[in-house]
Structure formats: structure tokens, C-alpha cells
Amino acid sequence: MGLLSRKVTCNSHGQDSSYFLGWQEYEKNPYDEVKNPKGIIQMGLAENQLCFDLLESWLAKNPDAVSFKREEQSIFKELALFQDYHGLPAFKKALVDFMAEIRGNKVSFDTDHLVLTAGATSANETLMFCLAEKGDAILLPTPYYPGFDRDLKWRTGVEIVSIQCSSSNGFQITESALEAAYQEAQRKNLRVKGVLVTNPSNPLGTTMSRNELDLLVNFVTDKEIHLISDEIYSGTVFSSPAFVSIMEVLKDRKLENTQVWERVHVVYSLSKDLGLPGFRVGAIYSNDPIVVAAATKMSSFGLVSSQTQYLLSAMLSDKKFTKEYISKNHKRLQKRQNKLVSGLEKAGISCLESNAGLFCWVDMRHLLSSNTFEAEMELWKRIVYDVKLNISPGSSCHCTEPGWFRVCFANMSEDTLKLAMQRLKSFVSSITIDNQTHQDLKNMRKKNRTKWVFRLSFQSFHDREQGER
């Protein structure tokens, strides 16, 4: 052990979080309709599998892109040889155009400000290396994506300080919560370098309001710190209110020539909107040329393959396809989310009203044996091991209120979701019966105890009366 680094031997990766532990239990006993119908259904993985038919249809109609040909001539050798880490110009152009299309073309993006990374995980970590030193702090609103404990902290040494949000206002960010987090960091002698938000939110499945975005811009301007907007779910917004990018806010407020302009950075990926997490395509968009230059150099540690870039540049340049995909993706996500919400309602469970993402923020507080995180973990274990559903407990997302869970709906078939809801409904019914039986017993004991106290009091009074006579 003495020959290994402290990074290898320390336990700071976050792999022991219940978020990851649920995955491990699923992998030991994965549900399969034919081979393992009593296995664990994976509802803790935010994958978008609802539009694979659209992607596969496009691939079938565009064989040249798949076989790496240009005008029927093979370019395999060109793609197989070394490529500059700045990325293929055609792909970067197609990607920024797709990002603008998702945002209703209300904002545009410059390829010179774009850095390609191996997914959003790499993008967020790279930004941490660019913006902060070891021991500096980044403020994050709770609840937040459990992977941030790994992505932002593990290798960089950056600390996370929570912005405490509450269900009382739908977990929206408030000015007092921002200031409290900033003061908390200062009490810990941590220098705050920025705020990171996910918009749309993971795990809430909601878009940030314009008031929240304006509040954030005002806050980072006043504190002279950075703002990172992780917008990897921007193309999953399926109902109102519409998605508003932080870049749109800056443009509307005419902040292009101000200092805050260069301190706002966007993270994007094709993992969620296009359902391609295995392709490992992420990006940093920054208006600071120094950040872009440094991040580009760092990207050599996690490049996107030339073959992937070539294929996706052809796909994203097909505007007829992207328009159809975005529209159908929204409709399918909304339909599937409605099925989850309906299934939960039938089980007597509600969730936070949402309009985006691949999951719902589900309220199971009424199923807790007590209002504690210990009770939340007890409930979570029963759902994983007995009900055979892997969902993510709110504590893994640093939620301050026990009893909330993130439940994914887009990574499975409709039949599998239906089965998951049937399992959950049966479980809730059994809990209700158990609780009713428990309550009946309590009431019976209370009733008997009352009778016993009455009889005892009456006997004492009678004895006393006899004694006085």
C-alpha cells in the first residue's frame, strides 16, 4: 500500500453512495422479461431509449456515414489516423447548430468557444480544473446529481457546499439560500469560485424559472465568481414552461461586453437528448478564451473518436431529421412521464410536477416509518430487495428532507414500466395494511388501557368509599 498514491487508497470517489450501490444490486440480479422475470428493474439509470428506432432508421438510410464514406469513397484511413484535439470542424459546426435548434434558435453558439470532451462527466471535471484550486468551493443547489461528488471533487480536490433548497417552494433557488451557502463556505475558510446548476434539473426534472436564472446572474456578478450551467437535459423539455438557457438570459440582459459574460460556462452532451451515452460526446462552451484554450489542451486526456464525430456530424447536419427527432422525442417523453405519474397515483404516491428530464422526483414521505434518513434507507432497501426496483433515494442526492426518491422512466419498455408500477402498488398496499393493522392494535391497546385505568380508578374510589364508611 505504501507504494500507491493517496488517491488510490482513499475512499473519496463516492462509489459507496446508495445511488451506485443500487446499480450494483441491479447488476447482480437484472430483470429480463424472459430469462429473469423476477429480477430487479433498473429505475435508477437516466437513459433515453425511447427514440432508438428514429436513430436506427436514419442509419439505415445513410449507409455512407456508417461505413465511413464520403461521396462513395472510403475515408476510413483519414479517420483512423491521428486527429487534432480541437475536433473535426464539421462536427463542431453541426453540434453548435443542434444546440441552438434545441433552444429554439433564440441563441447561437460559436465553434471557437466550444471544447469537445468525452461526455459531460469529463466536461464538468475539466471546468473544475480550469476554474478552481484544490480546497476551493463550488456551490450546488440541493438536491443534486449524486455523480457530482465524483465528477467535481474526486481528482480535483474542489469542495462542494450545498445551497439548501426546500419542497415548500418546489426546491427553487432563493436569494437567502444562495447567501447562506456562501457564508457557510466562508465559515469553513473555503474560497468560493462559482455556482453550478443543472438546468433542467437532475433529479427534479424541472426547468429553472427566469427569476432563478436572473437571481443567479445577479449573485455571481455581485460575488465576482463563475456560473456553470449544466444543460445536458435541455432537449428533454416536453411541456411548459419552456427551457431558457443561461446564454439567453445573458443576451436578453445585454451582458455580452461585461465581465460576467466570460465567467458563465455551459456544459452539454448528447447522452440524454440524443440517447447516446455510450458515444461519450460532451462539450464545454465558454466565452473566456483562456478557459477555452486550457480546456482544449486538457481534452487530450478524453477525446471523442474521429469515427464518432464523423458519424454524428452527418446525422446532426440533416436538419429534416433533427427537427423530426426533437419533436417526436418530446412527445414520447411526455407520454412516458404521464404513464409513470399515473402509475404512481394508482399506488397512492405523488411526485413533484415536472416538465423535463428522464425521471420524476417522487414523494414517498408518507411511507416512512419516521421522518428520518434512517427510515428513508430502510424504505429504499425494501424497495430494492423486496419490490425489486432500483430507485435513487433523496439522501444520495443530498436532499435535506427524507422521503424523496428519483425514479427514471425512459430506459425501459412500456411493459416493464407497467410491471414496475404493479410491483410498487402491491408493496404500498401491503404497507398500508401493515400500518392499519398496527394502528388498530394501538387503538385497541389504548382502548383497553383506558378501560383498565377506568376500572382501576373506580375500584380505588370504591375501596376508599368503603374505608371512609
What CATH number corresponds to the domain at position 397? 3.90.1150.10
Residue 205 has pLDDT above 90, yes or no: yes
Domain that holds residue 330: 6-51+323-428
pLDDT at residue 14, as a whole number: 66
Query: Which position among 19, 26, 144, 145 bears the catalytic label?
Result: 145
- List 406's β-bridge partners, or say none: 361, 392
Structural domain ending residue among the three candidates 291, 322, 353: 322
Residues 6+ apart with CB under 8 A from 137: 158, 159, 160, 161, 185, 188, 190, 191, 192, 193
Residues 207, 90 within the same domain: yes
Does residue 1 fall inside a structural domain?
Answer: no
Active-site residue, selected from the candidate residues 268, 272, 349, 388: 272
Q: Are residues 139 and 169 in the same domain?
A: yes
Amino acid at 214: D
Q: What is the pLDDT of residue 251?
A: 95
Same domain (yes/no): 338, 318: no
User: How high is the pLDDT of residue 17?
Assistant: 75
Q: How many domains does the chain have?
A: 2
Which one of 288, 322, 356 terminates a domain?
322
Residue 450 inside a domain? The answer is no
- Do 104 and 240 fall into the same domain? yes
Asked if residue 468 has pLDDT above 60, the reply is no
Per-residue pLDDT for 53 more than 90?
yes
State residue 446's pLDDT score: 55
Same domain, residue pair 338 and 314: no
88 with 231, same domain: the answer is: yes
Question: Can 110 be counted among the known catalytic residues?
Answer: no
**Same domain, residue pair 292 and 332:** no
Told to judge if 32 belongs to the known catalytic residues of this protein, a careful annotator would answer no
Query: Considering the domain boundaries, does residue 439 fall inside one?
Result: no
Poorest-pLDDT segment among 3-7, 88-92, 342-346, 449-453: 449-453
263 neighbors 192 (Cβ within 8 angstroms)? no
Q: Does residue 442 lie within any of the structural domains?
A: no
What are the two backbone dihedrals, phi and then psi, of residue 44, each rounded to the nearest 5 degrees? -110, 10
Give the chain's mean pLDDT.
Answer: 90
Q: State the pTM of this model.
A: 0.88
Q: What is the pLDDT of residues 220-269, one digit of tens each?
A: 999 999 999 999 999 999 999 999 999 999 999 999 989 999 999 999 99
Q: Is residue 438 domain-resident?
A: no
Long-range contacts of 75-80 (CB under 8 A, 24+ apart): 75/310, 79/306, 79/307, 79/310, 80/306, 80/307
Which of the following is catalytic: 160, 225, 232, 383? 232
What is the structure's pLDDT at 428? Answer: 95
Q: Is it the case that residue 105 has pLDDT exceeding 70?
A: yes
Q: Which pLDDT belongs to residue 256?
A: 92
* Res. 121: pLDDT tops 90: yes
Cα–Cα nearest to 55, from 238, 240, 315: 315
Are β-strands 137-141 and 114-117 bridged in parallel, bridged antiparallel, or unpaired? unpaired
Decide which of 428 and 7 is more confident: 428
Do 190 and 306 belong together in one domain?
yes
Domain boundary among 297, 322, 347: 322
pLDDT in tens, 407-416: 999 999 999 9
CB 403 within 8 A of CB 376: yes
SS3 16: coil
Q: Are residues 253 and 301 in the same domain?
A: yes
108: pLDDT confidence band, cut at 50, 70 and 90?
A: very high
Residue 445 lies in a domain: no
Residue among 230, 273, 288, 363 flagged as catalytic: 230
Establish whether 272 is a catalytic residue.
yes
192 and 60 within one domain:
yes
76 pLDDT tier (thresholds 50, 70, 90):
confident
Told to judge if 145 belongs to the known catalytic residues of this protein, a careful annotator would answer yes
Quick one: pLDDT band at residue 324, thresholds 50, 70, 90?
very high
Residues 164 and 282 in one domain: yes
In a domain, 36, yes or no: yes
The reply to whether 448 falls in a domain is no
126 & 169 share domain:
yes
CATH code, domain carrying 199:
3.40.640.10
Per-residue pLDDT averaged across 396-402, rounded?
96
Q: Determine the pLDDT at residue 456.
A: 39
